[in-house]
Amino acid sequence: MEMMLVTEKQYRIALELCKAGGEIDVTEVARRLNAKPEDLMRDIAELEAKGLLHRGVRQVELLELTSEGLKAFNEGLPEERLYTNAFKCIGKSIGEFIDCVKSLGIDADEARIGLQYLLKGGCLGVINGVVSVSSLSKCYEVMEAAGELRAWLKSIKEVGVNPPVDLLQVLKRRKFIAVVQRNIVAVSPTQKLVELLNNGFLQAAPLVTVVTPQLYLSGRLEKAIVKRFDLSISPPKRKVARLNAYLEFLNLVRETMVSMGFEEVKGPHVEMELWNFDALFQPQDHPAREIHDTFFVSTPLEVKPPERSIIERASAVHRRGWSYEWSVDRALRLVLRTQTTAVSARAIFERSNGEYRVFTIDRVFRPENLDAKHSMEFHQLDGIIVGCNVSFRELLAFFKEFSAALGIKEVWFKPGYFPFTEPSVEGFIKHPELGWIEVFPGGVLRPEVMEILGAKESRAIAWGIGIDRLAMAVLGINDIRNLFSKDLDFLEKQAFPQLEYFKRRTSAREVKVVEYPY
């Protein structure tokens, strides 16, 4: 008799078969191994191929809870639910009694069924057309009987135990259970398996699916089971390739912005504090510039200073506005940009005064805790409209027009505060599950910002839209982490934003500005 190696799971299955001493259902084997039956079927097939077990299928009748039975199991029988609320409605006619319990959250049909059993059991009575209490002791008996039925529903659902014949008939009559035909897979050990186990010739070994040189040289391969692959079998076909839904959404937003007359611009991810903070008139001692809100870059590389003009203007405006000694060395430090407004600042500096509108969609970085609404790396849609007569009114109009293009019909605006805009606004849209979420922060760039950037004669409105949160609302996702999911099944089920765009887009006139939604 030769030694036979099986996987650790197969060895545990073999032990359970020998303990049973005969035929045993696969569901019972799975219960003993704390596993799902479907997770054992491949191993059972391999053990059968090795001649270690017999497998058979037989048809049996089983009891299953119907939808009514599941509701009774989870929420209580109709008479139990009605009894809990009945005393609030005593003293009314039957019709008024039903309406009363309906107002307490009980369906009218269930209320009638529950009333029937409470009347039949002598708990309640009807005198001169008015519902009244007949006997509290009878009420306790009805509740005790209902509790027994619910206990049997639990036994049927969780253990598979059949109730006595009289109770079985009651459960069937009340349509709480149904008899169904099921195929049961049963297995039993062969004589070969019994002999191998009794003589110590069946041994568990680790399963190896990838053979590496290190594994071969260590000698562990000789004591392992190498998974064989049949390369003649074609792999499962996936659906037609497509872009990630989130990337589609970003492209859609780009097309929308271009159609509104904007030009896309780009900027570096590793940025000087000058463009990320100082050019935006954010003081160097501002809390947002501390390590808990910003990723600082440590590098021996020297930064090439920008034009001297912006250094001089930034120094003068900061000293005049904040009354402190501005540090050029601090301004030249490198950070991972915390906002794409740094790109807008560069654009204004390069173009100076005039009339133009630009935008950028790109990643920003902040030391956030990863959860359903926040990430340490996310995207922003930043944009500016520069001109001589640009006002706060145009900013709100842009938010409404942009919302309409994406099919968003409700927006809530409230006053906001940002270091580099005044006046400022925070715009919220309603997510179907998460409620109101902020996506539209913006405002009019302060005169100090325009002076630092060399566009003192112009005005500008600016915004930094939380594009990831906006995508969650449009795509129907309630967890920001799902935007970057690698699960192919999940990704294939995602909607096509381009198709949804043409279904949902509307006009700005249809966008409702909500007042005080809380």
> CB–CB of 465/362 below 8 Å?
no
State the residue for tokens 């191994």. Answer: 33
**CATH class, range 67-175:** mainly alpha
Question: Which H or E run includes 274?
Answer: helix 273-276
Residue 315: what pLDDT? 92
Long-range contacts of the stretch 351-356 (C-beta < 8 A, 24+): 351/386, 351/455, 352/453, 352/454, 352/455, 353/455, 353/456, 353/457, 353/458, 354/386, 354/387, 354/458, 355/386, 355/387, 355/388, 355/458, 356/263, 356/386
Q: What sign for the dihedral angle of Cα 263, 269, 272, 274?
A: positive
> CB–CB of 48/79 below 8 Å?
no
For domain 4-65+180-223, give the CATH number.
1.10.10.10
Residue 424 token pair: 């400022």
> CB–CB of 272/303 below 8 Å?
yes
> CB–CB of 425/443 below 8 Å?
yes
Cα-flanking dihedrals φ and ψ of residue 394, to 5°?
-65, -30
Residue 445: what pLDDT? 94
From first to last of its 518 residues, the chain has per-residue pLDDT tens of 678 888 888 889 988 888 887 888 888 888 888 888 888 888 888 888 889 888 888 777 778 888 888 888 888 888 888 888 777 888 888 888 888 888 888 888 888 888 888 889 898 888 888 888 888 888 889 899 888 988 888 888 887 778 888 888 888 888 888 888 877 888 888 888 888 888 888 888 888 778 888 877 787 777 788 777 767 777 767 666 667 788 888 888 898 899 889 999 999 999 998 999 999 998 888 777 776 578 888 877 777 888 899 999 999 999 998 888 988 888 888 989 888 999 999 999 999 999 999 999 998 888 776 666 567 788 889 999 999 889 999 999 999 888 888 888 888 899 988 888 999 999 888 887 778 888 889 999 999 999 999 999 999 999 998 888 888 888 778 777 778 777 777 777 776 665 555 555 666 676 777 776 65
Nearest to 161 by CA among 151, 169, 170, 173: 151
Q: Do the domains spanning 4-65+180-223 and 67-175 agree at the CATH topology level?
A: yes
pLDDT digits (tens, 9 = 90+) for 417-453: 888 899 999 988 888 777 888 888 999 999 999 999 9
> CB–CB of 82/120 below 8 Å?
no
Q: What is the DSSP pairing of strand 356-365 with strand 377-387?
A: antiparallel
The amino acid occupying position 501 is Y
> CB–CB of 112/98 below 8 Å?
yes
Nearest to 53 by CA among 225, 194, 202: 194
pLDDT digits (tens, 9 = 90+) for 217-248: 787 777 788 777 767 777 767 666 667 788 88
> CB–CB of 179/63 below 8 Å?
yes
Query: Domain residue spans in the chain?
Result: 4-65+180-223, 67-175, 246-513
> CB–CB of 54/46 below 8 Å?
no
Three-state secondary structure string covering 15-28: HHHHHHCCCEEHHH
Residue 40: what pLDDT? 87
Tell me the Cα Rg of the chain.
35
Residue 500: what pLDDT? 54
For domain 246-513, give the CATH number.
3.30.930.10
Residue 94 token pair: 């039957």
Put simply, whether the predicted model's pTM sits higher than 0.75 gets the answer: no
Question: Which H or E run includes 377?
Answer: strand 377-387
Q: Could you tell me what percentage of the chain is helix, strand and coil, using 3-state DSSP and rounding each to the nearest 5? A: 45, 25, 30
